[in-house]
Amino acid sequence: MKRFTDTAKWQPWFRKLTLGQRLFWFFILDKCDSCGAWERDDAQVALDIDPDLDIDQALDALNAERERIRPLKGGKILFVVDFIRFQYSRLRKENKVHSPAYRDLARNGLDPYPYEIDESKGFTKTPEGTLQSLQEEEEEEEEEKNKEKEEKGKEVRRKTKVDDFEAEIYFDELWKEYPNKIDKPKSKERFLKSVKTLGDLEMIREALRRYLKHLEVNDWKKPQDGKTWFNNWRGWVDYEEPPQKQDEKDDAAKILERLKS
C-alpha cells in the first residue's frame, strides 16, 4: 500500500525524539489502517523496532507539544489524529478511494463527519502541512483585514493636515529639545513651511531623534543652528549612523581634547 509522507516532519519536535521513538512513529504510520487506527501490539513493536522501547514513553514524547496519537478503547487502539486529513484532505462518500477510510472509521467507532467536506465546518491544509478549520481561516482573514484597516487608518492620519495653531505648539515642543537655539523666528518659519501634516510631524520627530543620537555619538561636533537644521531636517529621517572604527574614535577623542585645551 502506498501512502503520502510528510517531508516537513524534520522539525525540532521530531529531532527531540529518540531513534526508537522516531521509528515507532514511522511504524504506526505504516501499520495503521485506512483511517489511521492501529491495534496496539507491544510484541510486534519489540520484534520490529526495539525490545527495550517503552511505548507509553514514546506516546508521551510524540504528544508533548500537541496531540498526534490518541488512545482509544482503553489504549487498545492508537489513532493517528491527523492521518485522514493528511492522506485524503477531506473525505467524500462518493469517492471510492475513500471507502476504506469510512469502513475503518466505523469499525473503530469513530464519526466520519469531522473529516467530510462541509463548507461551514470542513478542514483544509495550510502550506506548512498543518491542519486548521475553516473557522480558524476566517479568524486569520479577519485579523488580516483589521491590520489593513489599521494601516489605512495610519495613512489617513499621516495625511491629516496640521493647522497653524497646532503647528506652533508642536514647534515649541521640538524647540525645547533642540540643542542650538539660534534664531527661533526663522527656525519656526521654516518648520511651518515644511510640516503640513501629521505624517510630516512624525518624520521631523524621528529626524530630530536621529540627529540628537548623531551628536551624542560624535560629541566633538557642534550642533547646527536651529534655522539651518529646520530647513534641512528631512535628510535626517532615514539617517543611519555608520559603524566607527577604533582608530577613528581615537582621532575624534584627540581632536576633542585639543579643542578643550
pLDDT in tens, 182-196: 899 999 999 999 999
Task: Name residue, grid cell 513651511.
Answer: 193
pTM for the model: 0.45
Residue with cell 484597516: 149
- 221: pLDDT strictly greater than 70: yes
Exposed, middle or buried by CB within 10 Å (0-12, 13-18, 19+), for 79? buried
Taking the C-alpha atoms of residue 210 and residue 204, their distance in angstroms, rounded to an integer, is 10
pLDDT of residue 225: 92
| Residue 45, C-alpha cell as written in the block | 513493536
Classify residue 36 as left (phi > 0), alpha (psi -120 to 50) or beta.
Answer: left
Q: What is the pLDDT of residues 92-113, one digit of tens each?
A: 888 899 999 999 999 998 888 8
